[in-house]
Every structure is written in structure tokens, then in C-alpha cells.
Amino acid sequence: MTGVKQPTEDWHTVVARYARPVLWRSLWQLASSLALYGAIWYGAYRALAVSYWLSLACIVPAAGVLVRIFIIFHDCGHGSFFRSRRACDAVGVVLGLLVFTPYVQWSRAHAAHHATVGDLDRRGRGDVWTMTIEEYRAAPRWKRALYRLIRNPLFLFGLGSLSQFLLLQRFQMNPRDRRNAISVFATDLALAGFVTGLCLLVGVRAWLLIQLPVMFLAAAAGVWLFYVQHQFDGVYWTRHAGWDYRTVALKGSSFYRLPRVLQWFTGSIGFHHVHHLSPRIPNYRLAACHRENPMFSEAPVLTLRTSLRSLSLALYDEAAGRLVGFRRAAAAR
């Protein structure tokens, strides 16, 4: 009937069409990413005999592929990469060795992040430490100094990001959780054996010269992606009483519009608003879901250039409903 507005399709129905992994696409993405990572890593190793600068030229794309592997690991944690949960868990555990992360512990912490993102009353669960202006002004001097250090980009995307994967992931975040404890211990034990084997194969020096910079670049890129997808000008935060899943997913997560090559390396995680609305959508279907459904036009858009503004943001101003820098907190006194 003309002139009659048709009812808007429920968002649950919309995302459900994409929350179905395609076996051949998952297998191809997994196999090609692992093969490419291994080939580039081997190329970096052989290049050491010629020049370390030549080896570094291989290390940069290797770090990019490792980010892509982490996205597959991440999808396994959500149960979105294969229809079988057992298959997801098995692949996730193995990939955890490559990304230096215990699968069970990380997956549980990340699930808590999805359940609490944008909630000012439930911060601190798998997210970047964020204080409100009022909290920062009321905090003791040592806590303000620590917060400034952790929020400093040089620390956050430097030593902080590397230590997150090389050191912090070696410990249990919840010692009372037996399954977490087993996951961390088993990962550390297997990782020790895996690294020892590689060192015996290529030499300790070669392993350090290749793996450390690969991990550093991949960790910095991964933390940046996680950071910028929830820390940007105009991000939506609210107290628990007003928290709404759909609103937080679409307005509390960014659409990070990246060039095609970077979208490939990052496993399309820039479509973060889609991912938060439905974590069961595999990474290779996020772009189609965004493109084919007008509802996703609500999401705030970031580009490489505009995302850099996020570096100066550090505190949430509840009165203004936006993230601001430290200068705003000083001016508000």
C-alpha cells in the first residue's frame, strides 16, 4: 500500500542473517593467514644473513598479519569463527600461542568488556582505564600521576602494550577461577616449549631480533585499535540505569573507516559498531552487514586522520557527555 510507512525491521533479525560462519571462508582465512605469517617470518630470518634492515622490512608486514591472526583468535572467543564451539575453542587455544595470550582467560575478560562497555558504573572489565573529571580531581596525587602515565600514548602504545602480551598475560587475573588458572598455566607451559623449540631451530639471537619487534608492532597496533574504538570525541557513555545495549553498540563504538589494505590486516574490526551489536558475526561478514543495512549509519565514523584526535582525550566529562583532555580538568577547578 503506497503512502503507508512499513515497520522497521528488528535489529536482532538484521544481524542474525550475518551471524553464520561460512566454513570454507573461515578455513581459508585461517590457513592463508598462518601460511603468510610463517612465510614472512621465515623471510625475515633468512634476511638476517644479508642485513637486519632487510629483515625489518619483513617484520612490519609480519606484525600486520599477526594482528589479523589475533582477530581470528578473538572471533574464536566469541564462538563466531566456526559453528562448532569445540572447533572455535581448539583453534583459539592454538592461536593463543602465536599471540602470547591464554585463550580462556582472555575470552572471559573480553566477554565482560562487551557486557559493560559504555557503562560508567561498571568500568574496569577488559577496557582501558578511564576516569571521570570528578574522579580524577578527587583522586590522591599518586593516583593522578599513575593515571597520567598509563594514559600517556608513549606508554600506552609502547611499553604498556608490549608488556600486556609478554608479561601480564602470563599471570592469572582471577586466581579463584580454576579454569582460568589451568588456561594460563597450560598456555605458559606450551609457550615455553614452543619458544624453546624455535630458539633451538633458528637461534636465540635470531628469534629475539625477529619476534620482539614483531610483537612490539603488533601489540601497539592491537592496543591502538582497541583504544580508538571506544575512546573518541563523541563516544557515548552513561550510568547503568540508562544503559542500553543497542545504543551503546552503535554510539559507544566507532566505525573506523580504514584503507582497504589496513582493513584486511585488521580483520575488518574497524566495523566495531557492528561487532558490538552482534559478536557472533565472523569478521569477514562485518563489512557486508554494515554496507547493506542503513541502521548502521548512526555509528560515529573515524578515519586515520580524525582518529589521531583521540590521543589527547583522557577523562570523561559527565556534564558535557564527552571525553576531554587533562587541560579541561584543570580549567574546571
Q: pLDDT tens for residues 87-111?
A: 999 999 999 999 999 999 999 999 9
Res 7 pLDDT > 60: no
Nearest to 311 by CA among 144, 154, 165: 154
CB contact set of 195 (below 8 Å; sequence gap of 6+): 207
| Total residue length of the chain | 333
Joined together, the cell numbers standing for residue 46 give: 633468512
Question: So what's the pLDDT on residue 333?
Answer: 56
Share of the chain above pLDDT 70, in %: 95
Question: So what's the pLDDT on residue 1?
Answer: 39
In which element (H, E) is residue 15 found? helix 11-16
Mean of the per-residue pLDDT values for the chain?
91
Question: So what's the pLDDT on residue 241?
Answer: 92
Joined together, the cell numbers standing for residue 255 give: 566505525
Under 8 Å between Cβ of 59 and 213: yes
Q: Which whole number is the average pLDDT over 193-198?
A: 96
Joined together, the cell numbers standing for residue 305 give: 586522520
Helices (H) and strands (E) in the chain, counts: 17, 5
| Residue the block writes with cell 548502521 | 296
d(CA 6, CA 26): 36
Complete DSSP assignment for 246-287: HHHHHHSS-EE---HHHHHHTTTTTBHHHHHH-TTS-GGGHH
Segments making up each domain of the chain, as ranges: 11-331
β-pair type (255-256, 131-132): unpaired
| Residue the block writes with cell 578515519 | 303
